[in-house]
Amino acid sequence: MRTIGHFIAGNHVPGSAAAFTEVFNPATGEITARVALAGGAEIDAAVASAVAAQPIWAATNPQRRARVFFNYVALLNREMHALAELLSFEHGKTIEDARGDILRGLEVAEFVAGVPHLLKGEFTEGAGPGIDMYSMRQPLGVGAGITPFNFPAMIPLWMFAPAIAAGNAFILKPSERAPSVPLRLAELLLEAGLPPGVLNVVNGGKAAVDAVLAHPDIAAVSFVGSTPIARYVYAQAAAGGKRVQAFGGAKNHMIVMPDADMDKAADALMGAGYGSAGERCMAVSVAVPVGRDTGDRLVAALKPRIEALRVGPASDPASEMGPLVTREAQQRVLRYIESGIAQGAELAVDGRGFRLQGYEHGFFVGPTLFDHVTEEMDIYREEIFGPVLSVVRADNYEQALGLPMRHAYGNGVAIFTRDGDTARDFASRINIGMVGINVPVPVPLAYHSFGGWKASSFGDLNQHGTDSIRFWTRTKTVTARWPSGIRNGAQYQMPTMA
């Protein structure tokens, strides 16, 4: 059986700890590899490598750092199909979905190839008598990223590409459930011209996370995962004086107004609710039709689409939805379905009995639809992270608006309508970080920033876009006056520019 280790100082290392975990093929349930779980020794070695490599990398001028990312983009395009197959094999998502995962990460690598412009400071000539003032953005030193299983390419790239382009070294702690693609991303960046030690990949569980959060040489931490862990990461890292961004869970709503094109709304909900088996922090898990007739028409449009959805392994090009990532994830989703039934929701489409010949041991759950869900139910309040869509009916627009406004999570939200006034009011008033108008999954492009509100995000700066450069750098401001502008004699009052 293949054993997956770590990538430190440009080399694959097996790891010294005696702890391992298993990697599965989610479609078959078979164990395909085991992953060495790092302890403090591996984290220390990775950080030491990063600390040694970072000053030389930071001193490399921005154009040359940008050239590495131009090369990297070319390599990611070259390896796209192989990366997608590898990702699908460990995660379970379809090949096309895996390509989307990689492409959205690649776009951030393209964005940071413009780092010479992004790092420019400000300059004021003659700020005072003989005084010039200017600012510069400088790297923090060593950063770290802790990433989830559901986007093994995209989210690591969202983190390490801006950090490294800005002159930092980086420690990536990916999910041990899907470890192969992050390691391959590191290999390709080395091939693109990155010096060894600037990017290190260390696999591990909670012990590795805690070692990252406590390490005194790590200046900043970025995290994506569940809200309870995001709170923990934020509290622990911030207490240690680190800069932190921690992104948590979600419960994304899509409001469907009576004037919406019902076929387009239903198609949008299919992709947003069941794509990647619902294992997305931006998945739509709550549909909110406004008005009884709208609700009836929406459910009638959804049911035949759900029943026709092709569920299968990534190896089948006809598959539109794959399995969940682990047996535990499958059982958790099934428990939520049972909870919805017990708490009085109407099960319109039941995915519990899904079986696929030849893949009976895979981690599949069929697409599931609940109608007449209420705010008190667990399936509404909690993040399921599976192919379960809940319909919560609203009598009017204000009632529909209030649902996501009151919810604890604030990651993404969407509205489908033909009315510009309604759409504009919705975008202005909603207290959610990312808003879609006739767009079900409003993940911003690389040159804008990604981040939620409320219990979906902890920290002040978002991922990618200009926020990422701000997060991975700090500003130094210089006030300069040369001898010809200096008055004779000491001055004891607060300095001014007069």
Q: Tell me the catalytic residues.
A: 281
Strands 252-256 and 199-201: unpaired
3-state secondary structure the chain: CEEECEEECCEEECCCCCCEEEEEECCCCEEEEEEECCCHHHHHHHHHHHHHHHHHHHHCCHHHHHHHHHHHHHHHHHCHHHHHHHHHHHHCCCHHHHHHHHHHHHHHHHHHCCHHHHCCCCEEEEEECCEEEEEEEEECCEEEEECCCCCCCHHHHHHHHHHHHCCCEEEEECCCCCCHHHHHHHHHHHHCCCCCCCEEECCCCHHHHHHHHHCCCCCEEEEECCHHHHHHHHHHHHHCCCEEEEECCCCEEEEECCCCCHHHHHHHHHHHHHHHHHCCCCCEEEEEEECHHHHHHHHHHHHHHHHCCCECCCCCCCCCECCCCCHHHHHHHHHHHHHHHHCCCEEEECCCCCCCCCCCCCCCCCCEEEECCCCCCHHHHCCCCCCEEEECCECCHHHHHHHHHHCCEECEEEEECCCHHHHHHHHHHCCCCEEEECCCCCCCCCCCCECCEECCEECCCCECHHHHHHHCEEEEEEEEECHHHCCCCCCCCCCCCC
